[in-house]
Amino acid sequence: MSQLSNRLASETSPYLQQHASNPVHWQPWDKEALAIAKQTNKPILLSIGYSACHWCHVMAHESFENKKIAAVMNELFVNIKVDREERPDLDKIYQSAHQLLNQRGGGWPLTVILTPEEQIPFFAGTYFPDTPKHNMPAFADVLQRVEAFYREHPEDIDKQNSSLQNALHNMANIPVSDESLNSLPIDACRQQLAKTYDKKFAGFGDAPKFPHPTNLEFLLRHYIVTRQSGQADAASYAMLTETLAAMVKGGLYDQLGGGFYRYSVDKQWVIPHFEKMLYDNGPLLSLYAQTYSVLKEQNFNIFRDAAEQTANWLIREMTSNEGAYYSTLDADSEGKEGTFYIWSKQQIKEILTDTEYKIAEKYYGLNAKANFEGKWHLNIQASVDSIAKKLKLSEPEVTESIATIKQKLFSIRAKRIPPGRDEKILTSWNALMIKGMAISGRLLQNDKFICSAHKAIDFVRDTLFKDKRLLATCKDGKAHLMAYLDDYVFLIDALLESLQARWRSEDLEFAIELADIVMQHFYDSEKGGFYFTANDHEQLISRPKPLMDEAIPSGNGIAAYALNRLGHLTGEQTYIDAADKTLHYAWCSINEIPYAHAALLFALDETLNPPTIIVIRGNENEIRQWQQAVDKNYQPNKMVFAIPASLTDLPGILNERKATDAPIAYACSGTSCKPAVSDLSELETVFC
């Protein structure tokens, strides 16, 4: 093994490249590395992390840069490093294995020891320190004991491996229910969320607090549906608006630059874990724009501002020259977490005028105790009207001063050493942000956001769609790795939103092409549901069918939701049937823990109550006005498409929506269609 060396330098993942100079002989997960393990009969030490992960950096510095620890790793194991963002298939499998082996959730960095022949894990953990501390043993000691056990107890390893494989198989092969679909899990989800709601500080559960945008979207949809029925659910309204307000006023939100950090380490939403991830900023962007669209008459301008500032942050800091979106911003800068974002009083005083500082002191709570290691991470602590009263200023004066304060502080902060940026482009995460940009552009009537979404779509189609299949990741012009279920279905969902923002026929054609690939390569036509990997993907120890939402919505949930919508739009029954069969497959799991299946509940709701689809044909300028009139308030069960009369040969039933120069609207819900409408006031009366 002396000839083995670190092979990470040529990888596309910035996370793997961060480890290219380690004394550990890191290998990427590929045929060569797996073959070496089999040939040498050495167990595989699999380390999974990502570039913005704080504890990944800690373990790297303590252990992977330590020559003595590296020598132990190199002697006893074939060491493989994986970026969980590029290989979510491996991460899902081995996180599940960690759960089964340890009876508790995992996390990152994930440290798993695998058998060399079958890559079955027989030991799993997360972070280990270099020396005994935090009530944990030293990493090198753990490795030596695990390797010795592997050599000395092969029968025990085989027995455990057999049990683990059966458990993983059972997780991916749940019994299919023959019950009829109904709305009971939707009601149960609402009740479960209420039980875990923090009435004092908003959000769900205790620290650490995550934004959970899928659950918040569920509350928004539930509130709108109940309001439409004349019995608005006040509790859903309160949980939604209080949580969105707490997050955007607190430290989870970047008060100067826009965008949301990953989670709050405390239950008060004061101090975040400072990494910024594309995958939750996309759904949060959608959510704030949608909620503002529904509640704007009640002056929830802070939600509109959060959506606009987050979209502008994305364009400013997270968009490549080609128009695609980068993955993450690190939590650390200058070797320490949060350094880029925090302030001392003196720093702020030197930047602002005396009056501005008095306002900033009250607005950000600088007169209270420092909240982050003797300094301040900015949170909104006082309202404009309260500051105006205390300082005897007008509210417009205070509002204008706050805008000036933010701009001054932002300009100075921009001169600091920024956090590292992971510039790989992930198809699934781009899709989540494309959806967010399309929704915010449409609801906030901002063409810049819609244009950004279109550029990202074009990049994915031109760079990440090769030989009629999607690829999962791209960096520096190199696109590779077979795409996963999330890549396909998140993109179909995003394309349907983009088509509502601005019709482009090629986007619908792309969505249909992607849907057909999903049906061919991911769909389980026998039992229902969709596998996370394609039927021609690399064979791994398990082929999961994930149903529950995680930090991002479930691929099966979005598959059922988007295919059902696409089926109703085009009249393709195959898509609708697949969505229905997926819900039957997932029915037992949904009923067991409804709140963990919010994306599937969206699909369930629109299966039981098919979305209303309005297609407006005619002169391009006039049909846009019609669309804005009928779509001015977000309604989750309504889709509106404005298709210029000049476009012909549309797919499916869309080709039956005949057009003249004068606008005409067609509205259908499920298999029921209303007579065509040629008068805007009539359309508004029925659908606004």
Q: Considering just the CA atoms, what is the radius of gyration of the chain in Å?
A: 26
% of the chain beyond a pLDDT of 70:
99
Please give the Cα distance from 125 to 537 (Å, whole number). 27
- Whether 678 contacts 626, CB under 8 Å: no
Please give the Cα distance from 255 to 304 (Å, whole number). 14
Residues near 185 by Cβ (< 8 Å), separated by ≥ 6?
Answer: 590, 591, 594, 597, 601, 604
- Whether 328 contacts 50, CB under 8 Å: yes
Predicted local confidence at residue 297, as pLDDT: 67
Q: 367-400, pLDDT tens digit by residue? A: 999 999 999 999 999 999 999 999 999 999 999 9
- Whether 425 contacts 325, CB under 8 Å: yes
Query: Which conformational region is residue 180 in: left (phi greater than 0), alpha (psi within -120 to 50 degrees), or beta?
Result: beta
Same fold, 14-171 and 612-687: yes
For 509, the token pair is 């054609």
Mean pLDDT to the nearest integer, 65-69: 97
Task: Residue 78: name the closest of 100, 46, 52 by CA.
Answer: 46
Lowest mean pLDDT among 125-134, 340-349, 645-654: 645-654
Please give the Cα distance from 422 to 213 (Å, whole number). 23
Mean pLDDT to the nearest integer, 504-527: 97
Please give the Cα distance from 19 to 142 (Å, whole number). 21
Q: 174-233, pLDDT tens digit by residue? A: 888 888 999 999 999 999 999 999 999 999 999 999 999 999 999 999 999 999 889 999
Q: Pseudo-torsion of CA 17, 55, 105, 112, nearest 10°? A: 50
Q: 484-497, pLDDT tens digit by residue? A: 999 999 999 999 99
Q: 101-112, pLDDT tens digit by residue? A: 999 999 999 999
Task: Residue 439: name the closest of 323, 314, 291 by CA.
Answer: 291
Cα torsion angle, 523, 526, 529, 530, sign: negative
Domain residue limits, the chain: 14-171, 341-415, 612-687
DSSP letter for 127, please: -
CATH topology of domain 341-415: Arc Repressor Mutant, subunit A (1.10.10)
Q: Pseudo-torsion of CA 96, 98, 99, 101, nearest 10°? A: 120
For 29, list phi and psi in degrees, rounded to 5.
Answer: -75, 105
Task: Residue 259: name the closest of 241, 236, 276, 240 by CA.
Answer: 276
Residues 586-617, buried b or exposed e (16+ Cβ, 10 A)? bbebbeeebbbbbbbbbbbbbbeebbbbbbbb
Predicted local confidence at residue 298, as pLDDT: 65
Looking at the DSSP bridge assignments, the partners of residue 475 are 478
Task: Residue 653: name the closest of 680, 673, 677 by CA.
Answer: 673
Please name the CATH architecture into which domain 14-171 falls: 3-Layer(aba) Sandwich (3.40)
Mean pLDDT of the chain: 95
For 112, the token pair is 């798993």
Task: Residue 82: name the closest of 73, 72, 93, 74 by CA.
Answer: 93
Task: Residue 315: name the closest of 414, 434, 493 by CA.
Answer: 434
Per-residue pLDDT for 1 more than 50?
A: no
Residues 42-74, buried b or exposed e (16+ Cβ, 10 A)? bbbbbbbbbbbbbebbbbbebbbbbeebbebbb
Residues near 58 by Cβ (< 8 Å), separated by ≥ 6?
Answer: 127
Q: 576-633, pLDDT tens digit by residue? A: 999 999 999 999 999 999 999 999 999 999 999 999 999 999 998 899 999 988 888 8
- Long-range contact pairs involving 578-583 (C-beta distance under 8 Å, separation at least 24): 578/519, 578/523, 578/528, 579/603, 579/607, 580/181, 580/607, 581/528, 581/529, 582/528, 582/529, 582/530, 582/556, 583/181, 583/528, 583/607
Predicted confidence band of residue 656 (pLDDT cuts 50, 70, 90): confident
Predicted local confidence at residue 459, as pLDDT: 98
Please give the Cα distance from 2 to 618 (Å, whole number). 72
Predicted local confidence at residue 637, as pLDDT: 93
Residues near 489 by Cβ (< 8 Å), separated by ≥ 6?
Answer: 518, 530, 555, 558, 559, 562, 563
3-state SS class at 260: strand
Please state the pTM of the whole predicted model: 0.96
The total number of residues written for the chain in this structure: 688
Mean pLDDT to the nearest integer, 337-342: 95
Q: 307-334, pLDDT tens digit by residue? A: 999 999 999 999 999 999 999 999 989 9
Please give the Cα distance from 384 to 393 (Å, whole number). 10
**Could you count the other beta carbons within 10 Å of the beta carbon of residue 191?**
11
Lowest mean pLDDT among 52-61, 388-397, 497-506, 515-524: 52-61
Using a 10 angstrom Cβ sphere, with 0-12 exposed, 13-18 middle and 19 or more buried, the burial of residue 185 is buried
| C-alpha of 462 from chain center | 23
Mean pLDDT to the nearest integer, 555-566: 98
Residues near 116 by Cβ (< 8 Å), separated by ≥ 6?
Answer: 37, 38, 40, 41, 42, 43, 44, 78
Q: What angle do CA 156, 47, 13 make, to 5 degrees?
A: 150
Report the relative pairing of strands 638-644 and 612-618 from DSSP bridges: parallel
Please name the CATH architecture into which domain 612-687 falls: 3-Layer(aba) Sandwich (3.40)
